[in-house]
A and B are shown apart, each in its own frame.
Chain A
Amino acid sequence: MSYVNFVKQMISRDLQIAATQKHEFGLPILFFVLVVILFPITLGPEGTQLAHLAPAVGWIALILSMLIALPRMFVEDYENGWLEQLFLSGQPHILIVLARIISFWLLYSLPLVVSSFLLVPFLTLPLELWFVLVQTLLCGSILIACIGSVASALLVASRKGSGVMALLVVPLLIPALIFATAAMDAAQMSLPYTSPLMILLALSVFALTITPLATAQALKLNLG
Chain B
Amino acid sequence: MFKWLHPYAKPEKAYQISLTLYKWTLPLALIGLLVGSIWGLVFAPADYQQGDSFRIMYIHVPAAIWSMGVYTSMGIAGFCALVWQIRLMELSVLAMAPIGAVFTAIALFTGSLWGKPMWGTWWVWDARLTSELILLFLYLGVFALFQSFDDKRTGAKAACILAVIGVINVPIIHYSVEWWNTLHQGASITKFDKPSIAGPMLWPLLINIFSVLVLFIAFTSYRFATEVLRADSHRKWVHQLIKQKV
**Interface residues, chain A, with chain B CB atoms under 8 Å away:** 150, 154-155, 157-158, 160-161, 163-164, 167-168, 170-172, 174-175, 178-179, 182, 203, 210-211, 214, 217-218, 221-222, 224
Contact = CB atoms under 8 A, between A and B. Distances in A.
A179 B144 CA distance: 28
Contacts of A164: 141, 144-145, 148
Contacts of B172: 175, 203
Interface residues on B, range: 20 to 34
Contact of B176 (A154, A163, A170, A179): A179
Interface of B: 82, 130, 134, 137-138, 140-141, 144-145, 148-149, 154, 157-158, 161-162, 164-166, 168-169, 172-173, 176-177, 179-180
B149 A172 contact: no
A217 B161 contact: yes
A168 B161 CA distance: 12
Contact of B161 (A157, A172, A218): A218
B110 to A, nearest CB: 22
Majority secondary structure of chain A interface residues (helix, strand, loop or mixed): helix
B141 A171 contact: yes
Contact of A175 (B138, B145, B166, B173): B173
Most chain A CB within 10 A, of B138, B165, B166, is at: B165
Contacts of B82: 217
Contacts of B173: 171, 174-175
A170 B137 contact: yes
A83 to B, nearest CB: 16
A154 B158 contact: yes
Contacts of B180: 178, 182
28 contacts: A150-B161, A150-B165, A154-B145, A154-B158, A154-B162, A155-B145, A158-B148, A161-B148, A163-B144, A164-B144, A167-B141, A168-B145, A170-B137, A171-B138, A172-B165, A172-B169, A174-B173, A174-B177, A175-B176, A178-B176, A178-B179, A178-B180, A203-B172, A214-B164, A214-B165, A218-B158, A218-B161, A224-B154
B6 to A, nearest CB: 25
Contact of A174 (B130, B144, B164, B166): B130
Contacts of A218: 158, 161
A167 B137 contact: yes
Contacts of B138: 171
A180 B137 CA distance: 21
Nearest to B177: A178
Given A158-B148, A160-B148, A171 B137 contact: yes
B205 to A, nearest CB: 29
B56 to A, nearest CB: 26
B179 to A, nearest CB: 8
Contacts of A175: 169, 172-173, 176-177
Given A210-B168, A217-B82, A221-B157, A157 B176 contact: no
